[in-house]
Structures are given as structure tokens and as C-alpha cells.
Amino acid sequence: MTTVLFVTSEVHPLVKTGGLADVSGSLPPALRALGHDVRLVLPAYPQVLARCERSLTLIKLIDLPGVATPVRVLEGVLPDTGVPLYLIDCPTYFDRLGGIYGDGTGDWPDNPQRFALFSRAVVALSQGWPGLGWKPEVVHCNDWQTGLIPALLSLEEHHPKTVFTLHNLSYQGVFPWGTFVELGLPMALWSMDGLEFYGRMSFIKGGLAYADLLTTVSPTYAREIRTPVFGYGLEGLIEARADRLVGILNGANYAHWDPISDPHLSCRYSSTDLSGKATNKTALQRRFGLPVRPKVALLGFIGRMVEQKGIDLVLAALPDLLQHPVQVVVLGAGEQVFEEGLKSLVASFPTQVAVQIGYDEDLAHLIEAGADAFLMPSRFEPCGLNQLYSLRYGTLPVVRRTGGLADTVVDATPENLASGRATGFVFGAATPVGLTGALMRALHLYYNDYSTWQRMMAVAMAADYGWDKSARSYADIYQRALDKRVDI
């Protein structure tokens, strides 16, 4: 049994911008089910305080640089899981309207101060204090917001082991040198082997350079980030530490994402009775105001509208594709240029394309259940969760061969169809032509060989990407860190 402090900037169901929240809400309970004492810590954003209010007690006041008043450490429980939860409550930095990383106009300008303060509070918590009665053996940090923690802990004489998980290398937390000075960070951390990155300070390097072990969220992404295309200038450091880097696939939380029991759906279904899927398709077409056409192929897309997700490829590929009988529903928010592009596509093809801009959890479940195929043509995808959900919902994913998409979707090649392994449609080139090719293969099968399509649905729905296996891999990583077996 290992004691682990799991550090994250978002967690489902309290606060979520993307897959990190899903992982943070699912991996700690899965590890606890294996017998490990895992506890969560995150900033006390207002929505988190509102949801947890009744379970919270104040356990400590700590003085930290950067704020005039002491920072409160609160203790509660992550709803529906029993996972103990610590909240770092500093209203100056966390009690504000808007998103957790910024508002419509961009990132919060004081993000380095916010996450440096959070990190310092976590360092204090990870070393324990009289009366806390708990001390982690391992501190598990996630993404750049927590990158300073392994760096700061490395300077302490007795400190827990650190594991740093990389969910997305394209968000690095890079700020001017002046920020490093202003934050009052120890000069010992300022070197090209430390936080310095081409004359600026990099939060993510704190994790990459100082953590005892590194993980990322799929085996393929673990290989990709060692190359310049995916490494964004950090490939050298990652290569140098490759013996401490492991790719562990994310899981899907089937308690939330399984059509057999999905509480968001009014009509549930399973691979042995797919009639409910047809009902969800009708509901989805109605919800988006599209003509109800049971036999027309319906494609779904859910995600942040940024280049990573290949939304530009979707925009470029759709006008030609829409010459065929096909409907497309899109849910997401992000860069204005993509939102506008989608709106003009809706204006040109009002009976075939419908878009909802914004974040809507109910609708995300209905899209997974009601669509025939799921579009995920990401340029890069560390793991991706929506393709895992799509597989379980029998909504065949159309994906680019990268990161976790390459590791989880089996292309409908003649060989894979013959051996009964195919679960989706995979393409290589990150171009509109590449995506169109995969979509045309999908439409061809849908309209000309629906029984094969149905067989693929059954294989996809039976695939098991539950958290149990991945949680065991994380438990091994913790043990390896504790055994000092850090080299593979």
C-alpha cells in the first residue's frame, strides 16, 4: 500500500476543461480500489467550494510568499468516490469569475503567480505537519501547472518521491525571466538543466527535469515526444530522461461512460440490443434541429476547437463530403476562427450540419450515443478519451494515426476486418485529403456493407479500456520510484 498525493488543476465532477479532469476524477478512485491511500489536492476555485461546501473543514493556515493573508488548506471528499480531497484556498488567485486558466480574452496574466502559490502550498502539504497525521510517500504531479513541485521538492533534504505525468506537451507554462525573479524561486533551479528554457522560465521543465519518474498518457505519445515534431524543443531533455519515461494509456470511466447505464441518456442500449442507439440518433437529430433520417450516416465531433484537434481539417474536408448523404453534429468551443468557420458551414448546409458552441456534458453523452461515427482527426493526441467513449458506445471513431488514437483504434483494413479486430477508420497524413479518404471508406462501408459495420460495432463495444489495468501500471511506477529502481 502506497500513500500518494495526486496533484491536479482540475477534476471531474468539480471543475473540468478537458481530459485531465476525467483522469483526475477516475485514476485516484481506481488506485484506492487497489488498496492505495491516494488523496487529491487542487486549488479551491469557487465552483469547487460551492460543490463541496458541506464536507469541508479547515486544517491549516500557511504563510506563503506572494499573498498578504495566510492560505487556507481545507479538507473534504471528492463527491461519489470517497477520495480525500485537499483544497488550497487563496481567494486573491482562485476566487474569480471566468475560466480556471483564463477568460474569453486569454490566459490570466497572473497564472505563474497562481500556480507557483499552489505549488508551494502542495510542497508544504507533501512534507506533512504536526497534526495532519498523513504524509505521502509519492507526490504525483500533472501538467505544467504542477511542474514547480518536483523542482522545489528536489531541494528539500527529506522529500517524497515524485512522478510527473505529461498530458499535453504543447502547454508548457513558459514566462519571462523576470517572472522567475518576481516569484522568488531559488537560483539553484535556474540552469539549462533546470527551469531555464532559452532565457525564459518553464514550469513544465520543473516536472520533466526533476521528477523521479515521468509518465505520459499513451505508449505512442511517449515515443513521439522524443522527436522534434512533437517535442517542441524539449525532445533533448526527454530523450536524456527516456529511461525514466513510461507511456500508460488513460482509461475510460465506464461508471460514467457506458450506454448500458449512462444516466445522461433517456434510452440505454447494449451490443446485444442496439434499438436504443437508434432512439438516441433520433433524439440527437431533433436536439440539433436536423431532419430525422434514421438511415443517413450521422457523424459527431466533441472537443476543444484548437488546431490540435484537427478541426481545421474537418472544416476543409466537409464541403466535399457533404455532397454525399451525411449529417454532422459538432459540440465545442475554442478559437474564434474555427467557431466562425463552422457557423458558415451551417449556413451553407443547414439540413446537414449543426453546431453548438459551448460546453455541455449532457449533450456530449447524447452525441456519443446517437452518432454513427465519431470524428477525431487530431494532429497530435497524447491519449484522447472521446475515442475510448466512442468505442464503448458503438460509434466508430475516424482518427488520425497519432498518440493514443493510434494505440486504441484498429483500422478497418481488409486484414483487420477479416480477423475481426477492426474498430474504426485510421488515416496518416494530417491533410484534408487524408481525412476525406478515411471518411469515404467509412461511408462506403456504412452504405454498402452495414452488416460488417455492425460487426465492427460489436468488437468496439466489447473492447475494454477500463481504469483497472492502467491504475495497476501507475501503482508499479510508484513502487519503482520507492524502490529507487528508476532506471528501466
What count of other Cβ atoms lies within 10 Å of the Cβ of residue 47? 12
Q: Which of 145-153, 236-244, 253-261, 379-387 is the region at the interface with ligand GLC (rule: CB under 6 A)?
A: 379-387
User: Which of ligand GLC, ligand ADP, none binds 360 (CB below 5-8 Å, type-dependent)?
Assistant: ligand ADP
Q: Minimal CB distance to ligand ADP: which residue?
A: 19
Q: CB of residue 241 vs ligand ADP: minimum separation in angstroms?
A: 23
Surface-to-core class of residue 160, CB atoms within 10 Å of its CB (0-12 exposed, 13-18 middle, 19+ buried): buried
* Alpha-carbon 130 to chain mean position: 35
| Shortest reach from residue 325's CB to ligand GLC, in Å | 32
When computed from its CA atoms, the radius of gyration of the chain, rounded to whole angstroms, is 23
Task: Out of 14, 15, 20, 265, point to the residue binding ligand GLC (CB under 6 A).
Answer: 20
Residue number with CB closer to ligand ADP (361 or 476): 361
Residue 200 site contact among ligand GLC, ligand ADP, none (CB < 5 to 8 Å, cut-off depends on kind)? none
Q: Is 470 in the site for ligand GLC (CB under 6 A)?
A: no
Secondary structure (3-state) at 356: strand
> Exactly one of 116, 122, 123, 385 binds ligand GLC (CB under 6 A); which one?
385
Nearest distance from residue 254's CB to ligand ADP, in Å?
13
Residues 64, 66, 70, 73, Cα dihedral to 10° = -70
- Nearest distance, CB of residue 221 and ligand GLC, angstroms: 8
Contact status: 332 vs ligand ADP (CB under 6 A):
yes
CA distance 2 to 251: 21
With contacts defined by CB under 6 A, name the span among 85-93, 270-278, 331-339, 376-384 that binds ligand GLC: 376-384
Are 400 and 314 within 8 A, CB to CB? no
Q: Which is nearer to ligand GLC, 248 or 373 (CB)?
A: 248
Name which of 406 and 443 has its Cβ closer to ligand GLC. Answer: 406
Cis peptide before 13 (omega within 30 of 0): yes
> What is the SS3 assignment for 368-412?
HHHCCEEEECCCCCCCCCHHHHHHHCCCEEEEECCHHHHHHCCEC
Please choose, out of 16-24, 104-112, 237-245, 467-475, the segment that lies near ligand GLC by the rule CB under 6 A: 16-24
Task: Give the Cβ contact number of residue 344 at 10 Å.
Answer: 10
Q: Could you tell me the smallest distance in angstroms from the CB atom of residue 345 to ligand ADP? A: 17
146 contact, one of ligand GLC, ligand ADP, none, CB 5-8 Å limit per kind: none
3-state SS class at 461: helix
CB of 8 to ligand GLC, least distance (A): 11
Asked if 168 interacts with ligand GLC (CB under 6 A), we say yes
The answer to whether residue 302 forms part of the interface with ligand GLC (CB under 6 A) is: no
Q: What distance lies between CA 324 and its chain's CA centroid?
A: 33
Backbone angles phi, psi at 428, to 5 degrees: -100, -60
19 binds ligand ADP (CB under 6 A): yes
Assess 367 for contact with ligand ADP (CB under 6 A): no
Distance CA 92, CA 97 (A): 12
Residue facing ligand GLC at closest CB distance: 19
C-alpha distance from residue 324 to each of 275, 281, 319, 327 (Å): 25, 19, 10, 9
- Which of 194, 384, 394, 434 binds ligand GLC (CB under 6 A)? It is 384
Number of H helices, E strands in the chain: 20, 20
Alpha carbon 25 to its chain's center:
11
| Contact residues: ligand GLC, CB under 6 A | 18-20, 23, 167-168, 217, 250, 381-385, 404
| Contact residues: ligand ADP, CB under 6 A | 18-19, 22, 302-304, 331-333, 359-361, 364, 384-386
